[in-house]
Chain A
Amino acid sequence: MAATAVAVNERGERRHGVPLSIGHRLRREVRRNAAGYLFMLPWLIGFFGLTLGPTLASLYLSFTDYDLLTEPRWTGLANYEYAFFHDQRLGNALEVTFTYVFWSVPLKLTAALALAMVLDRSVRGVAFYRAAFYLPSLLGASVAIAVLWRQIFGGEGLVNQLLVLLFGVSGPAWVTHPDYALSTLIILAIWQFGSPMIIFLAGLRQIPQDLYEAASMDGAGQVRQFVRITLPLLAPVIFFNLVLQTIEAFKAFTQAFIVSGGTGGPVDSTLFYSLYLYEEAFANFRMGYASALAWILLVIIGIFTAIAFFSSRYWVYYDDEAR
């Protein structure tokens, strides 16, 4: 708008020299930014072609009956109706997923914060330890680790061998027992504390040391310093990690897929939401219904993120804002 106004003004005042029409200015503008757009092109193509396009397509498909082999058929809200009122396995999948989110996220963040505080000290070789503790996060989401997990917690796995060796008791096959299978996946998630840990570390570095000095001079112990200084000043970082990890946890797929051999078993005890969605789409050929499930998951994640954001005004304190 502003540019147009200026152009009109200029046009009114021009006497001789190069006249500058709107089209002219626009072309000059484009030429000046062309390089920038060119550099962005790979991302733009990726975003429109591989993210936005499929996302919109899945919104359309969620209102259809689509088996991949024949053309989609419009069915209105039938998919959503089935999901909300008739799908028993979906209820189970939600229960499994919520259990996973509510346990794995707080435990993972606690582990990450605890290790970040240990690694915040200047000990010899701290860089090495940092890298070593970050390693599981690089490996953790991989298929190889999930396969390894299956072995460790299997009937004749490492855990049971240790149990026999140390206590003389033999444990069950943890990954294939419905009472314990989900717990092993939660442990696997906690073990991947690396990326929140790095973010916590950066956050801890931001806290001014003089606050601690002042507090200890006033006689505050370690615990009091942690509760009164570290936690409040770290709140924005905790909040950031919480939102990120919650979204991650809702989307958990690979570990459950590999550990259960793609079945979500035993007795659907590791049937995560995304695993169920995948099974409906590609094993049961209900791409339309699976698209509806994906949009429901999006809304669920959206709700939880919104709750986190609304609650944050009561517990997150930003340095640069007045309360």
Chain B
Amino acid sequence: MKHLLSRRRFNGLLAGGASAAALASFGRFAEAAETVRLIWWGNPDRDQRTKEVVDLYMSNNPDTTVVPENYAWGDYWQKLATQAAGRNLPDLIQMDYRYIFEYARRGQLAVLDEFLGNALELEDFDQNQLDSGKVDGNLYGVSMGANSMTHVYKQALLEELGVELPDPTTWTNENYVQMGNELKGKLPEGMYFSANMGGNEPRFETWVRQRGKALYTADGKLGYGVEDLIDFFAFWQGMQEDGLTPPADLQAQATGPMEQTMMVTGHALFDFIHSNQLVATQKLVPDEINITMIPNQEDGQPGQYLKPSMLLSMAETSPDKEAAARLMNFFITDPGANGILQIERGVTGDASIRELLIAELSPTEKKIVDYLAIVSTSIGDLPPAPPQNAGELDRALLPAWQAVSFGQVDPQAAATEYYENAERVLERS
């Protein structure tokens, strides 16, 4: 009878098996060596571009696995807060200027200074763009692009009506109202001159900055007076009463998403967006649109500023910070990656990349670059870091304004109530 298994064969199998097991575990080890999780908020266009960059990175670095995760703006911060609570933040996090202070000061973000010059090669990066990612002197995020506030308008229609826009750096709210009155009755059915921005916080921020004030002081208090808000509400109430903006219930349909804005639904000739949003907005509006600066007040100071449209930050809990820093570097400085990203997130602060991109911009993207060139001749400094609970006050401005627009209270009462509540909220944090 033959033995099924000779001693020698048994030993051979054992060795083979062991080495196979070792190889397998080595394989797993190699695979697990670099896994980088990346999270961002965006729109379908941005999601597509970002995933393409991720694929490009993985094909260049086969031993790295990038796990992407993306949400819409409204869901993003809830998701992120929950992950932070569970000590489970993704390694790389798309950050917003308002939230970076909150996350950095609460110890959730990694200090990036130690990677500068090795994994992060930001030698060509604009200093002021770099500074916008600093909290208390440390670098916590790298700007993915600059943007600024704008008034977006239907360029094709304005040309058809034979209207020429005044110099964007000097035009005023009076010019704005006057233009609206002149165009009254000439606009298509159902379209108003301007969306109503009485509940729009960035628009209000330009208003107070034009008056030499700010939304918040450096020590986290309100940086403006109640009379500024009363004037602001009164201005937009006047616009609404004169029929230059949509009635309250129509305007109230714009609750946030881009598809619901008065510009996209065809109810306004002028509306408010941030400059990088021109690309996505143009995709939703059939006729040609363009952007210009926010009108100033008589003898006003520059109300606008260049801010990072979004930043890329790293979680303090990231198990492999080197790997995360390399992917971050790829997003910020790699020509191939930026060829895919273009300026959808804003105009990059990396000078050499910017030159590469400007050569092959689409007409819409070129408008953004041209616009930022104009704005940068007439801007103020970055405002001080917003305090905790600033997001809550941003959201509270809309209902306060709506109480005015629906005729429930007058600007004085609404502004006073908002202001007193804001002081309480800031104290509570």
Contact = CB atoms under 8 A, between A and B. Distances in A.
A285 B403 CA distance: 26
Interface of B: 74, 77-78, 81-82, 84-85, 102-103, 106-108, 248-250, 252-253, 255-257, 260, 389, 391-392, 395, 398-399, 402-403, 406, 408, 421
Contacts of A283: 77-78, 391-392, 395
Query: How big is the A interface, by class?
Result: 20 to 34
Contact of A176 (B78, B252, B389, B395): B252
24 contacts: A67-B106, A69-B103, A69-B108, A88-B421, A154-B253, A173-B249, A177-B252, A178-B402, A260-B255, A261-B257, A262-B255, A263-B256, A265-B255, A265-B398, A265-B402, A266-B248, A266-B406, A267-B399, A267-B402, A267-B408, A268-B399, A282-B78, A283-B78, A283-B391
A70 interface: yes
Contacts of B403: 267
A70 B77 contact: no
B414 to A, nearest CB: 10
A265 B399 contact: yes
Contact of B84 (A69, A155, A175, A178): A69
Contacts, number: 82
Given A176-B249, A261-B257, A284-B389, A69 B74 contact: no
A154 B259 CA distance: 15
B109 to A, nearest CB: 10
Interface of A: 67-70, 88, 154-155, 172-173, 175-178, 260-263, 265-268, 282-285, 287
B187 to A, nearest CB: 17
Contact of B399 (A67, A173, A266, A284): A266
Nearest to A171: B249
A61 to B, nearest CB: 11
B81 A261 contact: no
A261 B85 contact: no
A178 B107 CA distance: 41
Nearest to B78: A282
A262 B74 contact: yes
A176 B254 CA distance: 9
A177 B406 contact: yes
A204 to B, nearest CB: 43
Counting chain A CB atoms within 10 Å of each CB, the highest count among B107, B389, B398, B406 belongs to B406
Contacts of A282: 77-78, 81-82
A177 B257 CA distance: 19
A172 B249 contact: yes
Given A262-B74, A266-B402, A284-B391, A68 B249 contact: no
B103 A267 contact: no
Nearest to A263: B255
Contacts of B421: 88
Given A176-B253, A261-B256, A263-B255, A68 B399 contact: no
B107 to A, nearest CB: 7
A155 B252 CA distance: 10
A285 B428 CA distance: 12
Given A177-B406, A284-B392, A155 B81 contact: no
Contact of A173 (B78, B253, B392): B253
Nearest to A278: B78
Contact of B106 (A70, A154, A155, A268): A70
A70 B107 contact: yes
A200 B115 CA distance: 69
Counting chain A CB atoms within 10 Å of each CB, the highest count among B103, B108, B253 belongs to B253
B399 A155 contact: no
Contacts of B85: 68-69, 287
Contacts of B107: 69-70
B387 to A, nearest CB: 13
A177 B74 CA distance: 22
B123 to A, nearest CB: 33
B262 to A, nearest CB: 11
A155 B249 contact: yes
B81 A69 contact: yes
Contacts of B248: 177, 266
A265 B74 CA distance: 15
B252 A68 contact: no
